[in-house]
């Protein structure tokens, strides 16, 4: 069995989960808008600690402490929360915030913006909310080929941070071929963790016959890891935890690869390893391609209150 490395928590997820945990210790009662990260185990753990999850800010009481998820929100969410007198703590991943800032700048400079992403994903909803009149969503090469703009339109693109690196590059190639002068972000929008986890899977494909990806169904980056394996001709399954493994998948398999999405805690990986150990697997090796050292500070609103309380 081979364990992909890096895998699991990225810096943005670490920050978001710690934000909720520290806020619970400091404030006692906190509300969280949407899932803080896309993993049901993480959400369940935080619920057991006392976090109250709501779908919209209006579901939290006026004056409540409201934590915004790692995926980011549209400006109107901040506005409504202010009107309710809520104390917001913004746990948006800084790399998502970078995309929001870039989209606003492009819009202010008069560009129409092509957003490459998945419709309905919370990150995409938040980014589109930054400049709804200026942004058009593209999900595929076919969408990119079908785009039409009037002559002289200034165009730029940004992307969701958790996409397939290869598929996004193909869409960007189409946009560049069709639209001369297309502006790009100063830095690639797909985050370091997404790129590294996809690369780690590609490095394993010649040595495995099956890939298990630990992550929730609504986790974009986890689904992309499955896609990477299948594109390389390797059978792959997305599983919430070890209980979802089906023994029939292992027929004729000599080496299994295991990885986890950026929102999946390492204990779920250990659970999968234990599942295989119980069935006689003794050799479990790391397939490491790069070390990750990225860290993000806690949201400024929380840091300020922690320092004032002496709990920093």
Stretches where the chain sits below pLDDT 70 are: none
The CATH number assigned to the domain holding 279 equals: 3.40.1010.20
* pLDDT confidence of residue 172: 98
* pLDDT confidence of residue 90: 98
∠ Cα 273 274 279 (to 5°):
100
Q: 81 and 20: one domain?
A: yes
Q: Residue 30 domain-assigned?
A: yes
* pLDDT confidence of residue 311: 83
Q: 207 and 250: one domain?
A: yes
Q: Which of 253, 251, 268 is nearest to 208 (CA)?
A: 253
Tokens of 238: 């997305």
Q: How are strands ordered across the β-sheet holding 135-138?
A: 135-138, 112-116, 155-159
Asked if 158 contacts 116 with a C-beta cutoff of 8 angstroms, the reply is yes
- Beta-bridge partner residues of 183: 156
* pLDDT confidence of residue 287: 92
Of the listed 57, 123, 278, 285, which one is catalytic?
A: 123
Q: Residue 278 domain-assigned?
A: yes
Length of the chain: 312
Q: How many domains does the chain have?
A: 3
Q: 215 and 278: one domain?
A: yes
pLDDT, tens digit, 9 for 90 and up, residues 90-140: 999 999 999 999 999 999 999 999 999 999 999 999 999 999 999 999 999
* pLDDT confidence of residue 312: 76
Q: 142 and 85: one domain?
A: no
Is 35 an annotated catalytic residue?
A: no
DSSP tag of 206 = T
* pLDDT confidence of residue 187: 86
- Residue 83 structural domain: 12-92+295-309
Q: Residue 171 domain-assigned?
A: yes
- Beta-bridge partner residues of 259: 213
Tokens of 156: 């730029």
Q: Residue 187 domain-assigned?
A: no
Asked if 141 contacts 172 with a C-beta cutoff of 8 angstroms, the reply is no
Count CA atoms closer than 13 A to 38's CA, side-chain side: 20
Tell which of 178, 213, 231 closes a domain.
178
pLDDT, tens digit, 9 for 90 and up, residues 37-60: 999 999 999 999 999 999 999 999
Record the pTM.
0.96
Question: What stretches of the chain show up as alpha helix (H) in DSSP?
Answer: 11-27, 40-48, 75-83, 94-108, 122-128, 141-146, 165-178, 192-204, 220-231, 266-277, 300-309
């Amino acid at each position: 069995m081979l364990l992909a490395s890096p895998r699991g928590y990225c810096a943005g997820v670490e920050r978001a989960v710690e934000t909720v945990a520290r806020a619970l210790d400091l404030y006692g009662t906190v509300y969280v808008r949407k899932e803080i990260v896309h993993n049901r185990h993480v959400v369940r753990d935080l619920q057991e600690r006392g976090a109250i999850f709501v779908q919209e800010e209006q579901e939290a009481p006026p004056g409540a402490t409201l934590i915004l998820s790692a995926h980011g929100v549209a400006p109107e969410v901040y506005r409504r929360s202010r009107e309710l007198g809520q104390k917001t703590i913004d746990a948006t991943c800084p790399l998502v915030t970078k995309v929001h800032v870039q989209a606003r700048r492009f819009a202010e400079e008069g560009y129409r913006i092509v957003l490459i992403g998945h419709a309905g994903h919370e990150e995409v909803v938040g980014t589109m909310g930054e400049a709804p009149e200026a942004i058009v969503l593209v999900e595929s090469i076919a969408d990119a080929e079908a785009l039409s703009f009037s002559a002289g339109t200034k165009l730029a693109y940004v992307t969701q941070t958790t996409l397939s690196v290869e598929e996004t590059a193909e869409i960007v190639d189409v946009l560049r071929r069709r639209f001369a002068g297309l502006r790009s972000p100063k830095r690639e929008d797909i985050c370091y963790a997404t790129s590294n986890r996809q690369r780690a899977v590609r490095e394993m494909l010649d040595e495995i016959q099956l890939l298990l990806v630990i992550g929730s169904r609504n986790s974009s980056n986890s689904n992309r890891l499955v896609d990477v394996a299948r594109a390389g001709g390797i059978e792959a399954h997305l599983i919430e935890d070890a209980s979802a493994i089906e023994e029939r998948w292992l027929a004729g398999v000599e080496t299994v690869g295991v990885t986890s999405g950026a929102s999946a805690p390492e204990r779920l990986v250990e659970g999968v390893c234990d599942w295989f150990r119980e069935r006689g697997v003794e050799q479990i090796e790391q397939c490491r391609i790069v070390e990750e050292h990225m860290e993000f500070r806690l949201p400024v609103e929380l840091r300020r209150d922690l320092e004032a309380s002496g709990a920093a």
